[in-house]
Amino acid sequence: MKIAALIIDDDADSRFILGSYIRNHFPNILVAGEGATLQESVGLVQQTKPDLLLLDISLPDGTGFDLLKQVTDKSFEVIFITAHDQYAIEAFKCSAIDYLLKPVAYPDLQNALQKVAQRIQEKHFTRHWTTLAHNLGQRNPYQKKLAIASSDGYFFVEISDIVRLESHSNYTHLYFREAKKLVASHTLGYYEALLPADKFCRIHHSHLVNVDFIERYTREGAGGTVIMKDGSSLQVSQRKKENFLEQLVKKSQGK
């Protein structure tokens, strides 16, 4: 499992040193991005959704604590890094994994990264069991959660949030409401077998769609065309057309 990390530091040399050390000594940690200011880093964190922040407390337009206050999803771990030791007490109150003083000593950084990697792995393991417990308590398959295996680890999603799935060789691209997308390390057939058949319909060898997100169906093309609520336009194969139309009728009748 790859751990996605962001380095937030206004010192370019510090970012380079930290990034180089991680890339050379921690192959399980991916440096997913870097930020130098509070403003750009808030957007970077929200977009990247990292597992770990290496966070300098003193930034040109604010502090690392300001960043944590502005980010809504705080499911990541934090290692505070700063040249000012007076921030130490406040850092620990914010549940930092460790507090590293500049210039960072490599043994201290290594120790902090090892501890955070272990905690993140334990957190992912816990999420697997939490997902299992949730699914066992749900009689409606559509309300269950799904663990998506990707090159970066596992993502846990609501099945009802999946708009459509698209085959790309041995991988599957999953598209969600609010324009979110994941690339999964399984085939489309794998997900077709897992997802509830009354909600997900195979309209083409490359496409599996959630019928709840169909905007309309037109007769354009050999088997017709499905327009999804996310704006995508998908071809229906002639071989899949009859089964697809039957499923649309059942949906319209509330079956």
Mean pLDDT (the chain) is: 86
pLDDT of res. 176: 95
| Domain 3-125: CATH architecture, name and number where available | 3-Layer(aba) Sandwich (3.40)
- Per-residue pLDDT band for 255 (boundaries 50, 70, 90) equals low
Rounded-to-integer distance, Cα 127 and Cα 162, Å: 19
At a CB cut-off of 8 Å and minimum separation 6, what does 223 contact? 203, 204, 235, 236, 237, 238, 239, 240, 241, 244
User: Model confidence over 113-158: pLDDT tens digits?
Assistant: 988 888 787 676 656 556 666 666 777 777 888 888 777 677 888 9
pLDDT of res. 217: 94
User: Model confidence over 168-177: pLDDT tens digits?
Assistant: 988 999 999 9
1.20.1250.20, 2.40.50.1020, 3.20.190.10, 3.40.50.720: CATH of 141-252: 2.40.50.1020
pLDDT of res. 92: 58
pLDDT of res. 13: 93
pLDDT of res. 152: 67
User: Model confidence over 196-251: pLDDT tens digits?
Assistant: 999 999 999 999 999 999 999 999 888 999 999 999 999 999 999 999 999 888 87
Higher pLDDT, 1 or 227: 227
pLDDT of res. 49: 87
pLDDT of res. 180: 85
Peptide bond into 103 cis (omega under 30): yes
- Per-residue pLDDT band for 87 (boundaries 50, 70, 90) equals low
Sequence spans of domains, the chain: 3-125, 141-252
pLDDT of res. 83: 79
